[in-house]
Amino acid sequence: MTSTTPPTRVLFTGFAPFDGAATNPSWQAVRTAAATPLAGLALHTAELPCVYGASLTALRTAIDETRPDLVVAVGQAGGRPDITVERVALNVDDARIPDNAGAEPIDEPIVPDGPAAYLSTLPIKACVAAVRAAGLPASVSNTAGTFVCNHVFYGLAHLIATELPHIRGGFVHVPYAPEQVTDRAQPSLPVDAVATALREIAATAARTRTDLRVAEGATH
């Protein structure tokens, strides 16, 4: 008799375009990442609206539909030069630009009476190491901002902490795609490269329970 290990179920989320952009490389990369099978993993995707509140409703629906073991939420961080694996989600919405529904909350808690912050439950340093080993630039980030990406990261972490402790999850910010910055001196990474990085992150998170103990901190 043979026994087979069930695949690790992975939900990748990406975002709709925002701030007047035509595309969002987070969703393009997530779709590309999930388009080819990956040994031992069952890959699922969901596109989230770039809207406070509604993004978390959509995330919850996607989790209920796909029943993931791992959630890798992804968003665009225009201006960053590398793939950044986020360490911490803050319990605050503070918008510098309106979301896609026109909301601009200032210093509002995401979960009133929730903890000030949650840490990622992904092995962030092992994920960074795996992306680098694939020949792509990556680092740990200590802030996901205070816009919709941080909102989704905090909401995901709160769900895991309060209701779904069998899930591990975190957030990854990705640079602009080259076609978004042809007229600007801004760093970018091709969507296919970002997709490769996301596949490395999912595979690494699936097999890594204890994170690497290596310094990836920042002095400022």
Respond yes or no: is residue 149 known to be catalytic: yes
Reading the block at residue 153, the tokens are 């990261």
Respond yes or no: is residue 104 known to be catalytic: no
Q: Which amino acid, residue 93?
A: D
| Catalytic-labelled residue, pool 44, 50, 86, 158 | 86
Euclidean distance between CA atoms 188 and 28, whole angstroms: 14
| Catalytic-labelled residue, pool 44, 151, 158, 173 | 173
Task: Tell the smallest beta-carbon distance from residue 76 to ligand PCA (Å).
Answer: 4
Euclidean distance between CA atoms 79 and 181, whole angstroms: 10
Respond yes or no: is residue 173 known to be catalytic: yes
Task: Tell the smallest beta-carbon distance from residue 53 to ligand PCA (Å).
Answer: 13
Contacts of 190 (CB under 8 A, 6+ apart): 177, 178
Task: Tell the smallest beta-carbon distance from residue 18 to ligand PCA (Å).
Answer: 5
Q: Where on the chain is the footprint of ligand PCA (CB under 6 A)? A: 15, 18, 24, 26, 50, 75-77, 145, 147-149
Euclidean distance between CA atoms 55 and 52, whole angstroms: 6
Q: Which is nearer to ligand PCA, 131 or 176 (CB)?
A: 176
Tracing tokens 């043979």 back to the chain, one arrives at 2
Q: Which is nearer to ligand PCA, 78 or 123 (CB)?
A: 78
* Helix (H) or strand (E) run with residue 35 in it: none
Q: Which is nearer to ligand PCA, 77 or 129 (CB)?
A: 77
Task: Tell the smallest beta-carbon distance from residue 29 to ligand PCA (Å).
Answer: 11
What one-character DSSP code corresponds to residue 175? P
Q: Which is nearer to ligand PCA, 75 or 105 (CB)?
A: 75
Conformational region of residue 145, where left means phi above 0, alpha means psi within -120 to 50, and beta covers everything else: left
Name the residues annotated as catalytic: 86, 149, 173
